[in-house]
Amino acid sequence: MILLTKMQKIIFVILFILFGSSMQASFFGDMKASYHVQKGDEYYDSKQYIKAFNKYEEAAKADSAYAYFQLFVMYKNGEGVQKDKYKASSMLLKSSSLKYPMAEVILANRLLYGKKKDVKGAIRLLEDAAKQENSIAYVDLYHIYKYGLGVKKDIAKANGYYRLAKVNGFNIRRTLSKKASNNRVLTNKNLIANIQRGLKKLGFYKSKVDGISGPMTRKAITNFQKHYGYSVDSQISTKILEQINSK
C-alpha cells in the first residue's frame, strides 16, 4: 500500500482541482456552444437573421468551427449584419483553422484561383477536407492532379480521388467551374436528398427533401448521430447514409 505524505496529498488535491475544473469548463463550454448553434440554425431557417447572427457569435466564442463558417456566410451575404468582405474573410480563416471542411475547400479555391496563389497551401487544405469525406475536396484534388494545376500531373492520384468522389455519389464528369471560390456548394444533391429522406422517416428531419445541405439537414444529422451513439461530425457522406439505412 502506497502512503502519501501530507505535502503529496496537498499537491494531488491541487492538481485534481486544476485539471478537473479545466475539463468541466471545456465540457460545459462545448455544451453551451452546441446550444447556441442549434438556436442559431433555428433562427436562420426562419430568416430571423439578427437573432441567428447573435447566437452564432456566442457559439464562436467557444471556438465552434461551424459557427465561424455561418458568420462568414452572413457577413458575405449581409444577413443580419452589414456586408463586410473583410470580416467575412476573417471568419472564413478562423473556421478553416478549426478544420471545418467547407471553409477549407473555399479557402483552398481562393488560394488556387485568386490573385495570391499558394498551390501547396491549397492542396494541404483540400487533403484535410478530404480526410473528412468532403466530396468537393475530392473533385478539386482530382482536377489538380489530372490537369497539373500548379503541380506535376499525377494520373494515379487523380484516379484515386475520382474513385472517392464517385463512391460519395458525385458526378465528376460534370463541368466544375473554377469559380468555386464564389462559394457555391457543389455537394451531390442525390446523396443529400437520400440522407434527408432517411432522416425524415426516422423522425429527425422535419423540413422538405430538396437535396440542399442547410442548417436543418446538419442539425438532423447531429441529432441522429447523438441518438444512436455515433461520433458527431454533422457532415454529408455515404457513411452517414449507410448508418441511416441500417436503422
pTM above 0.75, yes or no: no
Domains of the chain, by residue range, sit at 101-182, 189-245
Sequence-distant contacts of 223-227: CB under 8 A, at least 24 apart: 224/199
Output the pLDDT for position 90: 96
Task: Give the Cα separation of 218 and 67 in Å (integer).
Answer: 12
> How does DSSP assign the chain, residue by residue?
-PPPPHHHHHHHHHHHHHHHHHHHHHHHHHHHHHHHHHHHHHHHHTT-HHHHHHHHHHHHTTT-HHHHHHHHHHHHHTSSS---HHHHHHHHHHHHHTT-HHHHHHHHHHHHHSSS--HHHHHHHHHHHHHTT-HHHHHHHHHHHHHTSSS---HHHHHHHHHHHHHTT--TTS---TTGGG------HHHHHHHHHHHHHTT---S---S---HHHHHHHHHHHHHTTPPP-----HHHHHHHHT-
Overall average pLDDT of the 79-89 stretch: 94
pLDDT surpassing 70 at residue 184: no
Output the pLDDT for position 70: 92
pLDDT surpassing 90 at residue 117: no
pLDDT surpassing 80 at residue 86: yes
pLDDT surpassing 50 at residue 177: no
> Which of 44-48, 176-180, 208-212, 232-236 has the lowest average pLDDT?
176-180
